[in-house]
Amino acid sequence: MPVFKHEEKLSPEYVPDKLLFREGEMQLLMSFFSSLLTDDKPFHVRVYLSGAVGTGKTSLAKLFGQTIEDKSKKIGRRIRFLHVNCRIHKSLYTILRKAAEQLDIDLPRRGFSDEDILEVLVNFLSSNKVRLILCLDEVEALIAEEGAAPIYLLTRSGEDIEEGSLLSLLLIFRELDFLERLDIQTLSGMGGSNIHLNEYDKQQLFEILRYRASEAFYKNAISDEVLEFLAEAASERKDARYAIDLLWRSGKFAEAEGSDVVTAEHARKALASVYPTIRRENLFYLSRDEKLILLAAARALSVNKTQVTAAEVFQLYKLVCEEVRSEAKGYTTFWETLQQLQELGFLRLSVRSEGSKGRKTYVYLPGIPAVLLEQELLKGFSRNHGPSAF
Annotated binding site for ATP: 55-59, 200, 212
- Cα separation values, 381 from 340, 376, 377, Å: 21, 9, 6
Among 22, 385, 6, 7, residue whose Cα is nearest residue 207: 22
Among 236, 224, 305, residue whose Cα is nearest residue 275: 236
- Cα separation values, 62 from 6, 120, 368, Å: 20, 25, 35
Among 195, 192, 182, residue whose Cα is nearest residue 147: 182
CB burial of residue 318 (10 Å; 0-12, 13-18, 19+): middle
- What does the alpha-carbon distance between residue 107 and residue 96 come to, in Å, rounded to a whole number? 11
Encoded amino acid at 386, one letter:
G
3-state class of 276 per DSSP? coil
The total of other beta-carbon atoms located within 10 Å of residue 106's CB is: 7
- How would you classify the pairing of strands 308-309 and 359-364? antiparallel
Instruction: List the end-to-end C-alpha distance of the chain, in Å, as a whole number.
Output: 43
286 alpha-carbon distance from chain centroid: 34
- What does the alpha-carbon distance between residue 383 and residue 155 come to, in Å, rounded to a whole number? 70
DSSP one-letter code for 91? S
The CA-based diameter of the chain, rounded to the nearest angstrom, is 90
Question: 187 CB contacts (<8 Å, ≥6 apart)?
Answer: 179
Contact 363, 307 (CB under 8 A): yes
Binding-site positions: 55-59, 200, 212
